[in-house]
Structures are given as structure tokens and as C-alpha cells.
Amino acid sequence: MGYFEKITPLELEDVASSYVYDTDLFRSFEKRIWSDIRNYGGDYGHTISEHLGRTSSALASSMTYSKWFDHGLIRNIGEAFRNHDAGKILQDAMIYNLPNKPDQMVLDERKMHVFLGEDLLNSYLDTEEFRHLSGHPHLSVTECIMRHHHERINGTGPVGLEGDELGELTEIIGIIDSVDGKAIPRANRTKSMAECFREMTGLSIYTDQTKHKGEFRHELLVNIAEFLDPTTFPPGIRAKSGLAFA
């Protein structure tokens, strides 16, 4: 049974602008979901919670800096985005705690967490404690972000949306989530945020890693990078690339 309406990325901004987030109303719900996240998979639960904290802060800062969005929308999106990876706690933690580099089968299994957010939210709402939240638009916003935060404009994300189907908010969310995820220290490598942003362009002028080419809109990526780490794209190189803009 579904306890909230599912929405598309193109509906995200309108729905997220339609209500005022009530901290008291969602306090117990947030406490429960974050307790479950922190207790998931040993140290990996801590890794997830730190990632969620960093990315929600970076998203709010980027949206505020852009001056495209009002403060109510920024607050609502930020609160929903704090839970974007929560679907992972319905998966076997072993796939995230491997000693070696994961193979493609494991990587594909990991991607499925975006579809599990809906099940997780409904499992909470199917209890007496949280059923009063049924139908609240904030849950629709949260599930939409959970499902679509790995979508890419070239259609290579788990759902397969592409181009204008994502909407600008979902593009921004994808960039913020991706750069932080890539910058998390691993046993075999550590990368700066600037290095990760350059890799995400997929352009040879910045990086020898081309696997991300076409995944993100360059102008938006550069805008966010210049705000979060102004050292990412030196002005001279940026001008040569044709990506400089006011």
C-alpha cells in the first residue's frame, strides 16, 4: 500500500513549494530514520550519515547562492535530501563493506537503493506511530529525490530519465551527491573535491577520466564547482573550454 503520491522530477519544485516544513510534525519520523541509518552496516552507517549531512548542507548553500530558489523551497528540498540514500538500509550491508573493488554485479545491485526508498517510507507509514503523516507532500518530495538522485542527462541513471526530463533541481541534486560520493576517501585513493568535479566533466582538457562525459550539464556543473571550490577550474583553462559564462 502506498501512503503518499509519487511525483516526477518535473513536479518536484512545485510540490516542494506547496507546504511549510513542520519540524515538530516530522521530529519523531526523522529521529527514527536517522537512528536506522546510523545503526546500519557497522561503520558504513556512519559513512552514510556523514555523506547525507555534507550533501544537504552543500545543496542548501548552492541553492541559496544561485538566487534561483526561495528560502521555503530550499528548506523543504534540503530536509528531504537529507534522507536520499536511506533506501540502502534495506539492502545487505555486505555489498558496501567489501575489502576489494566491487565488480559490476555488485555495482548494479548497489544502484537499486534508489528504488527502495519508496518501500522504506511506506514501511514507516504502515505503523501507528507515523500513519498520521500519510499523504503529506513532503513524503512525495523525499521519495522523488530518493528515486532520482542518480539520474544523468544522458539517460544512464537507474531510472533512465534524460535531458529535460530531469528538471534543474534534480540535476543540481545529482551533481552535489556525485561529487561528495567521489570525494569520500577509499582504501586505494583519496581525491579532492576539485579533482572530482574535473572528472565529472569527462573532458580531456581537465581529466584523463572520460567515463562521466555527457552525464552532467557543463554550465551547471561549473557554476556549482566554482561556488563550492573556486580552485576547480582555472579561469584561463575554463575560457579555452568554452564553458565560461557570467
pLDDT tens across 81-101, in order?
999 999 999 999 999 988 888
- How high is the pLDDT of residue 239? 46
- How high is the pLDDT of residue 223? 86
Q: Which residues pair with 189 in a beta bridge?
A: 186
- How high is the pLDDT of residue 205? 78
- How high is the pLDDT of residue 188? 66
- How high is the pLDDT of residue 76? 97
Q: Which fold has domain 9-190?
A: Hypothetical protein af1432 (1.10.3210)
Q: What stretches in the chain show pLDDT beneath 50? A: 239-246
The set of residues, in sequence order, having a beta carbon less than 8 Å from that of 148 and lying 6+ positions away, is 9, 114, 157, 159, 161, 166, 170, 173, 174
- How high is the pLDDT of residue 238? 52
Going from N- to C-terminal start, the domains of the chain cover 9-190, 191-246
Cell of 108: 548494479
- How high is the pLDDT of residue 41? 85
Ordered DSSP codes for 174-239? HHHHHHHHHHS-BTTB---HHHHHHHHHT-TTT-S--TTTTSS-HHHHHHHHHHH-TTSS-HHHHH
- How high is the pLDDT of residue 211? 84
- How high is the pLDDT of residue 141? 99
Instruction: Read off the DSSP letter of residue 36.
Output: H
- How high is the pLDDT of residue 98? 86
